[in-house]
Amino acid sequence: MSEEAKIFKGELFCPGDPELKAMKLRSHKLSRQYSQLEEDDVETRQKILEMMVASVGQGTFMQGPVFFHYGVHTRIGQRNFFNTNTVIQDDATVTIGDDNNFGPNLTIVTPIHPLVASERRWMRNEKGERKHLCYAKPVVIGNDCWFGANVTICPGVTIGDNCVIGAGAVVTRDIPPNFLAVGVPCRVLRQITEKDSLVNFPNILGDNSLDE
């Protein structure tokens, strides 16, 4: 079994495996190329982004700089906005839906290292070889979510549709759809309801109106 296949099974894998290192090096180079381009070089940036990730939908914009660890383990839907300094450490898969807004300094992580110090240094693989091993859990983000600045999403987390994640949150557990969640560690604060509509805040709405 390949080391990549072990990742997808949720088993211990060796991040130093030559095939995995080649995948990461490719993604790191593409991340750097994307990040060094001018913001208005739209066509070149889009080509690099399409090369870097498994899939990306129309209308998705990434401000940059960006950093993808593997890139090819990430799928991004349509019309997402990523502010500056996005980091996606996609050892396991990262799946992002449509119409999400991400504030500056978003971090999504999937790898997990053993808690016992000696196990972080070395273990033995199925061949009895002494290796550095870790494992990873996928992250899933639904549709129409808003993430404040400096949000960290931890391994294995699923965030449902229509959520708002407050600035600085460290999301360690699943967040159900339609909830506001804040804090470190992130906790569900309350459900989002029609009372939150800007129609109820005319001083903010001003002369604008809601889309029918």
**N- to C-terminal Cα distance for the chain?**
53
Residue 185: cis peptide before it, omega within 30 degrees of 0: yes
User: What distance in Å separates the CA atoms of residue 133 and residue 149, rounded to the nearest whole number?
Assistant: 32
Distances (CA, A) of 4 to 22, 64, 147, 181, 203: 12, 27, 30, 33, 53
Sequence-separated (6 or more) residues with CB below 8 Å from residue 185 = 170, 171, 172, 173
Q: How many residues does the chain have?
A: 212
User: What distance in Å separates the CA atoms of residue 123 and residue 132, rounded to the nearest whole number?
Assistant: 6
* Six-digit token string for 141: 């983000």
For the annotated catalytic residues, the residue numbers are: 113
β-pair partners for 123: 131
